Amino acid sequence: MKRHIKYLSVWVLLISTLQTNGVSAHAVVTDYSLKLKPIHAQQADHIELTFNSKIELGLSQIFLVSKGDKHDLLTAEMGKKQGQIIIKVPALVAGEYAIRFKVFAADGHITEDVIHFTVS
Amino acid sequence: MAGIADFLDSLIGGFDLICYSLLMGGVFWGLFVLKPWQKDNNYNIELLNKTISLIYKGGFLLAAAQFFKIVLKVWLMTALLGRWPFPEFADTTQFIGGIIRTFFSILIAAYVYGILRNNAFSQKHWLIAIVVSLPLLISGAWLVHAAGRFDNRALLMTLTVFHQLGAAAWVGGVFQLGNVWILHKRQLISTDNWPFLLRNFSKFGMISVGFILVSGFPIAFQYIDSWDGLVGTGYGNLLMVKVVLLGLALGLAWLNRSAMLAFFRTRQTAALFGRVPHYVEAETLVLVILLFTAASLASQPPAIDISSLTASWQEVVNTFAPQIPQTTSPSHVALIAGEAGRVAIIDQVPSLAATEWSNYNHNIAGIFLTVMSFFAMLSYSHKLPFTKYWPLGFVGLGIFLFFRSDAETWPLGPIGFWESTFNNGEVLQHRIATLLVLVLGLFELTARITKNPDSKLPFVFPVLAAFGGLMLLTHSHVGFQAKSAFLIQVGHTTMGIFALILSCGRWLELKLDKPGKEIAGFTSVAALFLIGIVLMFYREPLY
């Protein structure tokens, strides 16, 4: 019978070691201001992101990605709406950019994603 | 090491649910199935000791798993943020709730170990176990993903807790049934305990499933608001996988119930003592994988939140459309040349070579499996002796995958073997899958040519096939947009279900007598064939 227990243990152990990460985590951006309000060149501005879940801002990082995939850390604060964060963006020259974020949601999942935008 | 942390972080959710089922399902088993305080049930202390031992071990393991989850989060955040996450992490619901849940897990486990174990026949002490577990149940509500939502938060948290309880009652009960069978085979308990407890559990199991469905439907309707959301998102897809697995488990449960009812009608023991234990083993496997799928589901964004990224049903059907397999590969030079543009954030350029490289890998793997399953079917005729060497195909497939899975890494690419394996969760999965396929082939080949009738080697194949199925059900492809990722996921999850059928079929083929043996064996090989077909027609989106 010990063999059966051994088999069962091996089963559970093997199966336990093979859970993998999901394609994306639970928190996702449901809305962002860039859709309605583009960023203009040479003007400091802000971008609003709205998530479907509560975000722990102190444990999150947001980067501005510019040509050559250069990363600059941005500062952000909580917005007035639920799940909203407001990212301060410095004055930029015209071109292609992206916001890359790693956020820790209240449900414990860490989400990484990228939003592309154009400054004109 | 972030890849390992990420990998462990996602697997711990399924392990947590297994421990939770051992603990809570065990307490329910004692209260509603075993009822040891009743005088006429002929239980001995051995049965009670083993029952209670499963419960407190589950509780202590749950505490360890919960604490390890916190450690993993700290590890992962340190790796991702590049700094120590405290003091901010100490203020989060996950940290506070996790510590509280760890404490309450230890509390109930300690009660079961210290008090219930010494009063195993007392109804009062079993009832107290439920009361002592209440703080654990309630504290768990703040750790489910509904806790982070804005709409109907309290309702969703409550429903999720009830859903988990229903699942724990069923799965924990099946674990206990397995335990009863082991004790029966060791002749440590009375012969009539097995049919008696099967009958008691049959009713309780149906109530548990009812509980799962009653709490699960409203959750599903909250997170999925359309047919497209069900068919065309990762969340909907994994929910459907859960439904299919639930159907498989219920099918096996129905076989158990039919055999049990027939026994009480006719007193014929063949099915109850010959087949049912093996159905219980297969049901255990399906339910364990169901728990891991449930944990994986929690990492997916709900369909209702990504309506603009939902695939249509036509796009989903198209991923399975028959096509001529791609049998020529782009060169490694062409693939590497396109990588810089493909992985760039600004000025990203989709790589046709990368897509064709992947299509070729999947399609060739499909040809391998289809041909192997064809020879496997022929081997059952016993007229062509060479066909018993069909598992050699797995060895060839393993070598093929080793060279082709991650072209940017060693041996073909510039990234070193260890660096790529331990820093990228996806590469780690591919490495494990490659090793798995190689080991699978070698073991199964040895098992089929061995002259030893008592060899345990044949059981390695179904165990590793289940392991592979689990990988497919939870396989991730980082770097895709949500819709592309889903269209890849849907093929992988379909193959994952077939892999599980392959595993259960082969397990039952090895355990059952004719005619069940042959039916199970054919089903198993047919599932392998279908995996091959899905792979042969696989097409990856351009990215």
pLDDT higher than 60, residue A21: no
Q: Do B298 and A59 touch (CB under 8 A)?
A: no
CA angle, residues B533, B535, B536, in degrees to nearest 5: 65
Residue B149 and residue A52 in contact, taking contact as beta carbons nearer than 8 Å: yes
The 10 Å Cβ neighbour count of residue B74 is 16
Whether the CB of B443 is below 8 Å from some CB of chain A: the reply is no
Q: If we measure between CA atoms, which residue out of B249, B490, B140, B471 comes closest to residue A16?
A: B471
pLDDT over 70 at A28, yes or no = yes
Q: Residue B20: is its pLDDT beyond 80?
A: yes
- For B15-66, give the DSSP string: HHHHHHIIIIIHHHIIIIII-TTSGGG---HHHHHHHHHHHHHHHHHHHHHH
Does A30 have pLDDT greater than 90?
A: no
Q: Write the pLDDT tens digit of every residue in B51-73.
A: 999 999 999 999 999 999 999 88
On whether the CB atoms of residues B420 and B427 are closer than 8 A, the answer is yes
Average pLDDT, chain B: 88
| pLDDT above 80 for B153 | yes
CA of residue B452 relative to chain centroid, distance: 32
- Assess whether the previous peptide bond of B87 is cis (omega < 30° from 0): yes
Residues with Cβ < 8 Å from B163, sequence gap 6 or more?
Answer: B211, B212, B215, B216, B219
Higher-pLDDT residue of B300 and A65 is A65
User: Model confidence at B477, in pLDDT bands (50, 70, 90)?
Assistant: very low
Residue B394, helix vs strand vs coil: helix
Residue A23's pLDDT is 31
DSSP state at residue B152: S
Neighbours of B94 (CB within 10 A): 23
Of the ranges B186-190, B266-270, B382-386, which one carries the lowest mean pLDDT score?
B382-386
List pLDDT tens digits, range B220-248.
998 998 888 898 888 898 899 999 999 99
Does the distance separating the beta carbons of A61 and B301 come in below 8 Å?
Answer: no
pLDDT at B478 (0 to 100): 45
Cα separation, B377 vs A16, whole angstroms: 31
CB neighbour list of residue A59: distance below 8 Å, 6 or more residues apart: A104, B77, B81, B85, B88, B89, B92
Instruction: Tell me how long chain B is.
Output: 543
Please check whether residue B16 touches A, CB under 8 A: no
One DSSP character per residue, B283-324 reads HHHHHHHHHHHHHHHTTSPPGGG-GGGPPPHHHHHHTT----
Higher local confidence (pLDDT), B26 or B418: B26
Mean per-residue pLDDT, B18-28 = 96
- Are the Cβ atoms of A15 and B289 closer than 8 angstroms? yes
Q: Given this model, what pLDDT does residue B532 score?
A: 94
Contact of B477 with chain A, judged by CB distance below 8 Å, is answered with: yes
Quote the minimal CA–CA distance from B284 to chain A in Å: 10
Nearest CA in chain A to B477: A23
The whole-number pLDDT of residue B498 equals: 93
B182 vs A4, A18, A22: nearest CB: A4
Smallest CA-to-CA distance from B506 within B519, B493, B492 is with B519
- Mutation to test the A interface, candidates B92, B185, B339, B455, most A Cβ within 10 Å: B92
**Sign of the alpha-carbon dihedral angle for B67, B71, B74, B77:** negative
CA distance B100 to chain A (A): 15
Q: Name which of A10, A22, A104 is nearest B10 (Cβ-Cβ).
A: A22
Q: A–B: how many Cβ contacts below 8 A?
A: 186
Give the chain B residue whose CA is nearest to the CA of A16.
B15
Q: Does the distance separating the beta carbons of A14 and B467 come in below 8 Å?
A: yes
Q: Residue B434 contacts by C-beta under 8 Å, 6 or more apart in sequence? A: B398, B401, B402, B405
pLDDT of residue B474: 67
List CB contacts (< 8 A) between A115 and chain B: none
Distance CA B461, CA B455 (A): 13
What's residue B81's pLDDT?
83
* Angle, in degrees to the nearest 10, between helices B93-114 and B45-81: 160
Nearest chain B alpha carbon to A10: B463
Please give the average per-residue pLDDT across B89-101, as a whole number: 91
**Residues pairing with A84 in the sheet:** A50
Question: What mean pLDDT comes out for the span B408-423?
Answer: 77
Is A59 in contact with B429 (Cβ distance < 8 A)? no
DSSP annotation string for A46-67: EEEEEESS-EEEEEEEEEEEET
Query: Which residues in chain B are contacts of A107 at CB distance < 8 A?
Result: 94, 144-149, 298
Distance CA A49, CA B23 (A): 41
ipTM over 0.90: no
Average pLDDT, integer, range B290-315: 84
Residue of A34, A50, A49 lying closest to A120 (CA atoms): A34
- Neighboring chain A residues of B77 at a CB cutoff of 8 Å: 59, 104, 110
Question: Are the beta carbons of B185 and A4 separated by less than 8 Å?
Answer: yes
pLDDT at position B115 over 90? yes
Distances, alpha carbon B147 to alpha carbons A53, B24, B94, in Å: 9, 22, 10
Residue A34: pLDDT over 90: no
pLDDT in tens, B482-525: 677 788 888 888 999 999 999 999 999 988 888 788 889 889 98
Contact B465, B510 (CB under 8 A): no
Mean pLDDT across the stretch B66-91? 88
Cα separation of B18 and B25, whole Å? Answer: 10
Q: Are B69 and A103 in contact (CB under 8 A)?
A: no
Spatial distance between the Cα atoms of B136 and A16, rounded to a whole number of angstroms = 23
Range in A43-52, B1-10, B391-400, B515-524 with the lowest mean pLDDT: B1-10
Answer yes or no: do A22 and B474 touch at CB < 8 A: yes
Give the dihedral of Cα atoms B429, B410, B371, B289; nearest 10 deg.
Answer: 0
Q: Taking residues B135-146, what's their average pLDDT?
A: 87
Confidence of residue B6 (pLDDT cuts 50, 70, 90): low
Q: Out of B182, B299, B301, whose CB is closest to A21? A: B299
Query: Which residue has better confidence, A35 or B360?
Result: B360
What is the structure's pLDDT at A22?
33
| Contact assessment for residue B413 and residue B336, using Cβ atoms and an 8 Å cutoff | yes
pLDDT confidence of residue A1: 42
Q: Strand, helix or coil at A45?
A: strand
**Minimum-distance CB partner of A52 among B12, B305, B432:** B305
pLDDT of residue B4: 66
Model's pTM, two decimal places? 0.85
Residues B431-451: pLDDT tens digits? 887 888 888 888 888 888 887
Quick check: A25 and B10 CB within 8 A?
A: no
DSSP letter assigned to residue B330: -
Q: How many other C-beta atoms lie within 10 A of the C-beta of residue A117?
A: 18
Tokens of residue B298, six digits:
């929690």
Interface contact B504, partner A, CB < 8 A: no
Q: What is the pLDDT of residue B10?
A: 66
Q: At A26, list the tokens.
A: 């639970």
How much is the pLDDT for B117?
95
Nearest in space to B528 (alpha carbons), one of B375, B348, B353:
B375
Q: What percent of chain B has pLDDT over 70?
A: 96
In one letter, which amino acid is B448? R
Sign of the dihedral through C-alpha B356, B358, B359, B364: positive
pLDDT at A3: 47
If pLDDT is split at 50, 70 and 90, which confidence band does A18 have? very low
